[in-house]
Structure 1
């Protein structure tokens, strides 16, 4: 019988346990309770502080917002151009121009997703709110690899660029490792608000590229087309089929010139409302001009054998066009903007680790910060170590990491149209300000596997590296996400051993019980048992917990739905492994009240779940911080 005062244990003698030496009570989480709650002034103050911090974070405009990822996007010209020329030759301008047009497909997709879910951490956060957590973790693993590849490629390119200009006292791979370590130390100083610094670096890079473009254009006008005609003759493939293949391979590798644009939605919560479309525009349009113009100027000025010989092509272009002073300027710009890409990768990864820690995917130790700077030192150190392992496992080969980077980037970009389709199907009621044409969604989904296959065909070994790293990260995420299941399996194996230690068994049971007691919160607006059941099934399949708090906000006029308490008791009876507490909160369902409730229950908003809001919903979904788990 259920005790009137709540709590107590249910008689489970009729149900057997799989554990030989534990009572059946081990499988029973305990009876749920029913309570009414009134939020205090302290709760409201804590909730208002959270909302003010959240609203105050959106300070980035269209230029400062573009600068954070702009260094990675526009800085990719230093490693994208040599990779494309190596496989495409004199047809590189055509391939690069076609590749830089593809964001016209992704921009409306990203804009619709951002208008529906203006929350940071995309595309992991998008998929988390529209589908299962396991699929979202795949997105998180790909994002983590993308950030690591960004840092490694930027560091290795900066080191190799310097090695090509001056005699370094150490090999280039040592220089890349030093760059990673130095900027890990810089990030530990707490320089997280780096939008203005990134803007200054980007402005310097744009000024440098403008100077190089003007000087090279003037030189081209003075010398004429002789070098261009010579390169055209020397670089002609033997057949029309070879030309088509070169164009396709150049298009596939030309996607490297767009890497970094996928990072923009990951910090959309810091961008001012309505500024995200201009941010994407400010990233995309300069990329078209920069990549296409620079490769055309290179082919019109630099001999083809020198371009294909592995030299720093932009430095050579500067030397020929204006002399040593411009070449030194280009080298300084390459080092600065590429090192900015390293810092962008580290900071993006720390933000992702923090979100994963709040969602209980990785241990809470990732939330620990240094007392003075406030930097998440565990995240920084783990990510730097991961980047070092990635670089070392490829034999310190920049070519392999760059090609693998293109595979990771393509897979991450495929998650955006996938997330939009899932949003429209699973959360179709969610309000949004923009709608992408279905043709863009379909073309983006078709284009990514084609380009992915093209990159694999260029170098099949990169697919092995990509698969190995992805599987490794997914295994770690799966282990941390299923700690209770793994520990239960360990205890079962221990339970079969005759000479077992009671101390070890008690310790394992204690750890399992502690992990299962971590609560989550379901915010409900109705008493329909099918709706409550679907939300509870989501929690059981995606979260490791035996404590669920079902919360309903009500005021004096609406009252409590008539069947809510009875249906909560039915579900509490139906799921003995979960304790279901029903809490009635006095007040309206609003972001401030939800934030106050999070403070009162000591449950982070990321572990509060709600149903999809409709078109007439008056509050911004991002201010709740809750996960949308049902239609």
Structure 2
């Protein structure tokens, strides 16, 4: 049917929907190629876009109301039209960027030994509370169970190394999760990590206090002694990270010397008495049947993995470890743990009667007293108090890094970024963590048993985050450069082992699941409130809006106006997305991520354009205008930065726009990228 046969309106729409025909004769005066998007102006014709006011403002009127509130105009939901601008970074912007850590490739603070010492006090100090727990359920089969459990990090180490090489960012595994999957899952990981640090510090401090109370008569209850231990190391942390790391190294060295002395003296005593005590213990403690042996081995394997607590803390401060040292740190923590746990439990069974080991006495203290006398027992007790107190330090350090990361991501309040002038210590984070320790210990009734049970499940769940994060990285961010790649079979086997050990710990004492769930729900409720402030305020105002009488009282009306102003201020906090292409589907996915995961009504869409080869994608401006109209609740500003896309320029732009780099989002870099993502400090939100 020809166009002449169509009604007049359809003829007009048919004409609008098609571009003018292009002549096929190359000698004609018309161009061979079709006009560009900008030249044709078909974006305005096809979309019938309303002309925007020259001075800004205005609205895109719709046929349906754009506000869910009865007493607010549609202006409340409309964020305003976006803008297009070009900027050039100044020398002042570059000067500020050069002062930021990591931009100028400054050397990291922690080397192999000091980085190992921070987590080493937790990993190697776990022998004091792991051995009694394993002996209680595994008996004479404890050496086998402990040896098997300490071999499991051979599965985790390659995964942790791959994640660290891809994303060497402090705050892991939260920092891994937020870059490879949804933000909601990352917040769950942050809650688990916060519980892990807190429970680790409480257990270490309370165990140290119990050792002290077993040797001397304290003038106050043991829970006060635990609070004193936490307070002392909080003051140490306020003196600065560098001093804390050196102190941790001294504590670890003292522990290593003490354990070496105990191992030598116990071995000499074993050689002196022969295998008589070992045979007696075996005869007394062997299981009557095969299923009973398997049950004891499995229970011992489940509890024996607690001897590795602290290994999960190492990635939390990876941003402060020198490049290339992280695999060495994991090795330094893992191999000594295998030797220490297996050797000490074997020496205990060879030198001390089984009834004594199962009678609640400290295992290593009993070994020391039998092998060398009272003086060695006192040295071991002193070592237990010192090294377990050092375990508090890693908890404080890990929480400080985590809260700093959460504050930059606007999940935690910005007050956690405050630091002391002279030591640069995050004092608000340290004080808040100390308060969390007190709350957790007090809510458990001062029971070390309750906190320890909860700690076992939290630790296992945190360790499960590493294979989950790596699986998400392989699926969602497969282009991200990294040093090595872990086989998929290793990830699946690790997840299966973690699930089995988790179920085994719950089977040993089902009440652990209740404590774990209660603490996790509490922390998640706090994070959900801080992450969804605007949504919660919307609910509060909507409830207030349902009662018209409240709008007639001056007091409540003023309160409602202040609530509207607060919601507006919170939503005006800008977010930056760094774009390279003009493909509208890619731009749309990035904006949808921001809308679903961040509370903002202002997006800065930034494209870096090198001054020498300035090639702006032809459809970028038009597509930005389309998206700006598609999301009336978000203002989308397109900014062209006349400079190259390098870390120092991204940091300079962050200073120019007053947006932290943690709130600058980008797509996943590929193998062609000349800079690791850690130097940018940005978040990856798309493939």
Correspondence 1:122-201 to 2 at 5 A: 122-191=172-241, 193-201=243-251
Post-superposition offset of 1:385:
1.7
Matched position secondary structure for 2:154: helix
**Which residue does the alignment assign to 2:621?**
565
Q: Following the alignment from structure 2 to structure 1, what is the Cα–Cα distance between the partners of residues 129 and 107?
A: 33
Match among 362, 368, 387 for residue 318 of structure 1: 368
**Which residue does the alignment assign to 2:388?**
338
- Residues 535, 629 of structure 1: 8 Å contact kept: yes
**Which residue does the alignment assign to 2:36?**
none
Post-superposition offset of 1:84:
0.8
Post-superposition offset of 1:238:
3.3
Q: Following the alignment from structure 1 to structure 2, what is the Cα–Cα distance between the partners of residues 54 and 205?
A: 38
Could you report, residue by residue, the CA deviation over 1:497-518 in whole angstroms, capped at 9, with x for unpaired residues?
Answer: 1321210111100110010000
Q: TM-score, normalised by structure 1?
A: 0.98
Post-superposition offset of 1:191:
4.7
**Which residue does the alignment assign to 1:487?**
537
From the superposition, tell whether residues 615 and 11 of structure 1 become closer, same or farther in structure 2 (CA, over 3 Å). closer
Rg bigger for which structure? 2
Match among 506, 515, 534 for residue 570 of structure 2: 515
Q: Following the alignment from structure 1 to structure 2, what is the Cα–Cα distance between the partners of residues 181 and 65?
A: 23
Tell whether 2:481 aligns with 1:431.
Answer: yes
Q: Following the alignment from structure 1 to structure 2, what is the Cα–Cα distance between the partners of residues 290 and 279?
A: 17
**Which residue does the alignment assign to 1:14?**
63
Matched position secondary structure for 1:583: strand
Tell whether 2:644 aligns with 1:592.
Answer: no
Match among 295, 300, 304 for residue 350 of structure 2: 300
**Which residue does the alignment assign to 2:3?**
none
From the superposition, tell whether residues 542 and 560 of structure 1 become closer, same or farther in structure 2 (CA, over 3 Å). same
Q: Following the alignment from structure 1 to structure 2, what is the Cα–Cα distance between the partners of residues 195 and 54?
A: 24
Q: Following the alignment from structure 1 to structure 2, what is the Cα–Cα distance between the partners of residues 6 and 110?
A: 54
**Which residue does the alignment assign to 1:45?**
95
Matched position secondary structure for 1:362: coil
- Residues 12, 24 of structure 1: 8 Å contact kept: no
Could you report, residue by residue, the CA deviation over 1:404-433 in whole angstroms, capped at 9, with x for unpaired residues?
Answer: 211111101111011111101101111111
Q: Following the alignment from structure 1 to structure 2, what is the Cα–Cα distance between the partners of residues 69 and 470?
A: 23
Matched position secondary structure for 1:618: coil
Post-superposition offset of 1:198:
1.4
Could you report, residue by residue, the CA deviation over 1:337-375 in whole angstroms, capped at 9, with x for unpaired residues?
Answer: 111111211121111111100100011122223344433
Correspondence 1:518-597 to 2 at 5 A: 518-555=573-610, 556-597=612-653
Match among 668, 672, 675 for residue 612 of structure 1: 668
**Which residue does the alignment assign to 1:603?**
659
Tell whether 2:101 aligns with 1:101.
Answer: no
Q: Following the alignment from structure 1 to structure 2, what is the Cα–Cα distance between the partners of residues 134 and 39?
A: 35
Q: Following the alignment from structure 1 to structure 2, what is the Cα–Cα distance between the partners of residues 576 and 564?
A: 19
Larger mean CA deviation between 531-540 and 167-176 belongs to 167-176
**Which residue does the alignment assign to 1:207?**
257
Post-superposition offset of 1:51:
4.6
**Which residue does the alignment assign to 2:683?**
627
Post-superposition offset of 1:6:
5.8
Q: Following the alignment from structure 2 to structure 1, what is the Cα–Cα distance between the partners of residues 105 and 302?
A: 40
Post-superposition offset of 1:178:
2.1
Larger mean CA deviation between 500-509 and 193-202 belongs to 193-202
Tell whether 2:516 aligns with 1:470.
Answer: no
Matched position secondary structure for 1:64: helix
Q: Following the alignment from structure 1 to structure 2, what is the Cα–Cα distance between the partners of residues 396 and 234?
A: 35
- 5+ residue gaps, structure 1, are none
**Which residue does the alignment assign to 1:421?**
471
Larger mean CA deviation between 205-214 and 43-52 belongs to 43-52
From the superposition, tell whether residues 2 and 134 of structure 1 become closer, same or farther in structure 2 (CA, over 3 Å). farther
From the superposition, tell whether residues 141 and 204 of structure 1 become closer, same or farther in structure 2 (CA, over 3 Å). same
- Residues 103, 648 of structure 2: 8 Å contact kept: no
Q: Following the alignment from structure 1 to structure 2, what is the Cα–Cα distance between the partners of residues 7 and 229?
A: 89
**Which residue does the alignment assign to 2:122?**
72
Matched position secondary structure for 1:194: helix
Could you report, residue by residue, the CA deviation over 1:14-48 in whole angstroms, capped at 9, with x for unpaired residues?
Answer: 33121111101101001101000000001011111
Matched position secondary structure for 1:610: strand
Could you report, residue by residue, the CA deviation over 1:150-173 in whole angstroms, capped at 9, with x for unpaired residues?
Answer: 100100110111111222222222
Post-superposition offset of 1:186:
3.1
- Residues 113, 420 of structure 1: 8 Å contact kept: yes
Larger mean CA deviation between 300-309 and 26-35 belongs to 300-309
- Residues 109, 242 of structure 2: 8 Å contact kept: no
Q: Following the alignment from structure 1 to structure 2, what is the Cα–Cα distance between the partners of residues 349 and 432?
A: 27
- Residues 103, 647 of structure 2: 8 Å contact kept: no
Q: Following the alignment from structure 2 to structure 1, what is the Cα–Cα distance between the partners of residues 493 and 55?
A: 56
Post-superposition offset of 1:53:
6.4
From the superposition, tell whether residues 2 and 160 of structure 1 become closer, same or farther in structure 2 (CA, over 3 Å). farther
Q: Following the alignment from structure 1 to structure 2, what is the Cα–Cα distance between the partners of residues 313 and 293?
A: 13
- Residues 97, 103 of structure 2: 8 Å contact kept: no
Q: Following the alignment from structure 1 to structure 2, what is the Cα–Cα distance between the partners of residues 535 and 222?
A: 71
Larger mean CA deviation between 90-99 and 379-388 belongs to 379-388
Matched position secondary structure for 1:18: coil
Q: Following the alignment from structure 2 to structure 1, what is the Cα–Cα distance between the partners of residues 236 and 110?
A: 22
Post-superposition offset of 1:519:
0.5
**Which residue does the alignment assign to 2:297?**
247
Larger mean CA deviation between 366-375 and 464-473 belongs to 366-375
Could you report, residue by residue, the CA deviation over 1:559-605 in whole angstroms, capped at 9, with x for unpaired residues?
Answer: 21111110000000000000000000011100010011011111100
Q: Following the alignment from structure 2 to structure 1, what is the Cα–Cα distance between the partners of residues 286 and 389?
A: 36
Q: Following the alignment from structure 1 to structure 2, what is the Cα–Cα distance between the partners of residues 399 and 276?
A: 33
From the superposition, tell whether residues 76 and 439 of structure 1 become closer, same or farther in structure 2 (CA, over 3 Å). same
Post-superposition offset of 1:187:
2.5
Tell whether 2:460 aligns with 1:410.
Answer: yes
Q: Following the alignment from structure 1 to structure 2, what is the Cα–Cα distance between the partners of residues 338 and 56?
A: 33
Match among 398, 410, 414 for residue 348 of structure 1: 398
- Residues 9, 25 of structure 1: 8 Å contact kept: no
Q: Following the alignment from structure 1 to structure 2, what is the Cα–Cα distance between the partners of residues 23 and 576?
A: 14
Matched position secondary structure for 1:499: helix
